[in-house]
């Protein structure tokens, strides 16, 4: 049984450094929690990313149900975090999100996994909300990874003002 799991954002990174960070950490499965697994950044769209990961021995799983719906993304981009949390909180109660949350919990219990989306700063990202649900569901420890010359682990809970996980 795993003791911990990870999250990571690829903002500002190159795919090679991203994959290296996952490999150094021992991640076996990357769980993509983007609503739309597309990117203008080379190497981070679903097919290209899955191929890069597979070549490095890392499995790729896309769980669309854990992605932030467009209205939530729009609110977050506008800095309207209360509205973002309301929208994403409602989404997380949906059958679609709950099914994919259960699947994510199964994966992270089985082997070292990492949740991924775009935002580098986990504090302003829906993946921290997803990760908190998974911590409560599994009891596993959470680490947030950064891509740079070192791997930094963050054990603090997300800091989104007024964040509620109820």
Q: How many domains does the chain have?
A: 1
Contacts of 25 (CB under 8 A, 6+ apart): 6, 112, 114, 145, 151
Residue 166 lies in a domain: no
Encode pLDDT of 89-141 as tens digits: 999 999 999 999 999 999 999 999 999 999 988 887 999 999 999 999 999 99
Residue 76 lies in a domain: yes
Residue 13 lies in a domain: no
Encode pLDDT of 34-75 as tens digits: 999 999 999 999 999 999 999 999 999 999 999 999 999 999
Query: Which domain does 125 fall in, by range?
Result: 27-144
Residue 121 lies in a domain: yes
Residue 132 lies in a domain: yes
How much is the pTM? 0.88
The sign of the CA dihedral 142, 108, 100, 35 is positive
Burial class for 42, CB neighbours closer than 10 Å (0-12, 13-18, 19+): exposed
Residue 125 lies in a domain: yes
Residue 63 lies in a domain: yes
């Amino acid at each position: 049984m795993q003791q911990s799991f990870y999250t990571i954002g690829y903002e500002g990174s190159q795919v090679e450094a991203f994959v290296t960070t996952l490999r150094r950490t021992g991640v076996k499965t990357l769980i993509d929690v983007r609503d739309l697994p597309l990117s203008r950044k080379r190497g981070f769209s679903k097919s290209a990313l899955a191929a890069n990961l597979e070549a490095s021995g890392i499995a790729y799983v896309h769980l669309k149900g854990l992605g932030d719906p467009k209205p939530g993304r729009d609110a977050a981009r506008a800095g309207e975090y209360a509205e973002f949390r309301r929208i994403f909180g409602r989404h997380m109660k949906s059958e679609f999100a709950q099914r994919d949350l259960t699947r994510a919990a199964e994966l992270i219990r089985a082997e070292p996994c990492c949740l991924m989306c775009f935002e580098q700063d986990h504090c302003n990202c829906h993946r921290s909300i997803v990760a908190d649900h998974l911590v409560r569901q599994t009891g596993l420890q959470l680490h947030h990874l950064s891509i740079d010359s070192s791997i930094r682990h963050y054990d603090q809970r997300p800091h989104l003002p007024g964040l509620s996980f109820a």
